[in-house]
Amino acid sequence: MKGEARIFQREKGGVVAFNEYGDPQGAPVIFCHGWPSSRTMAELTDEAAEKLGVRIISPDRPGIRDSTFHPGRTLLDWPPLLIELADHLRIDRFRILGISGGAPYAYAAAWVIPEKVKAIAVVSGAPPIAELEDRSGLLNFYNRILDLRESSPGLVRALFHVARPFARVKLPIRIRPLLLKVLQPCDANVLRDSKSFEACFESARQAWRASAAGVMADADIYAEPWGFRLEDVHVPVRLWHGKKDRTFAFRLAEQIAARLPNCEFHLVDDAGHYSLPIRHIEEILRDLIE
């Protein structure tokens, strides 16, 4: 059933949980969720994917929600997992949609398994943080965590464990307007829709369900070198970014676009970090499959 959790057993042990959305007979697109987030973030693609004949396959990363924790995993452990998932579903080749923190995972798959990946779309994507000489384009909260990680890594880990009981609590509907007030209007407006809010924030809450360790492992990967150069990603890339993105400034996306040898760059006026994938998902998917 569409949207129902499914589980597959990995060859070397452990399981991966995934959901499917859109058209079950459509062109396969693997969805790489953001951070902190989980597989049901892909709910925001469902209506557009069904209309366009796209099959969205959205797995939890190891240690997130219902997928088994993998100690010491790196970004380059992701492409072999996707091969196993594709084999399990009897899919030969596929496309990838990575949103926000899903971006490094999309790039990694494109670099490691280009014979499997037809094209990728990266939306509001995270940059290679370890390569940045100037981090002023990152959300201030991220910069504080990165600084603390460098000076007191043990304290950061303790904070993640302290945060988990609170992050797991479902936010009462009456509190949502207070959260939306801290966002810029273009993002807050789209998130007033309950379905969009649930796709973004309920999936984030569920990310903490298994443990804080999985969320921390994901965070560590963003701060480490990716293990490859963007210049060596030759798979077609559709790069989408909003001019009003405060999480990752659009100039960072411009720098990435300039490094990719096969990139179509879409810089969208009046779009923020959340509003871009929500409002433009049909356009993004259509461009990806065409």
The per-residue pLDDT for range 215-241, each reduced to its tens digit, is: 999 999 999 999 999 999 999 999 999
User: What are 118-136's pLDDT values in tens digits?
Assistant: 999 999 999 999 999 999 9
Q: Is the pLDDT at 139 greater than 70, yes or no?
A: yes
d(CA 119, CA 94): 8
Average pLDDT, the chain: 94
User: What are 41-89's pLDDT values in tens digits?
Assistant: 999 999 999 999 999 999 999 999 999 999 999 999 999 999 999 999 9
- Could you tell me the two tokens for 208? 């903490």
**Residue where the block lists tokens 């009897």:** 90
Note the CATH architecture for domain 6-289.
3-Layer(aba) Sandwich (3.40)
Amino acid, res. 139: L
Query: What whole-number percentage of the chain has pLDDT above 90?
Result: 83
pLDDT class of 23 with cuts at 50, 70, 90: very high
The predicted structure's pLDDT at residue 3: 66
d(CA 188, CA 169): 21
Q: Is the pLDDT at 1 greater than 60, yes or no?
A: no
pLDDT class of 107 with cuts at 50, 70, 90: very high
Across the range 16-31, mean pLDDT stands at 97
User: What are 142-182's pLDDT values in tens digits?
Assistant: 999 999 999 999 999 999 889 898 788 777 777 778 778 88
Give pTM, 2 decimals. Answer: 0.95
Count of Cβ atoms closer than 10 Å to residue 193 Cβ: 12
- Could you tell me the two tokens for 162? 């302290």
Query: Residues 6 or more apart from 96 whose CB is under 8 A from it?
Result: 29, 30, 31, 32, 106, 109, 110, 117, 119, 120, 121
Q: What are the residue ranges spanned by the domains of the chain?
A: 6-289
**Collapsed DSSP state (helix, strand, coil) of residue 207:** helix
**Collapsed DSSP state (helix, strand, coil) of residue 216:** helix
Q: Is the pLDDT at 28 greater than 60, yes or no?
A: yes
Query: What whole-number percentage of the chain has pLDDT above 70?
Result: 99
Count CA within 13 A, CB hemisphere, residue 61: 35
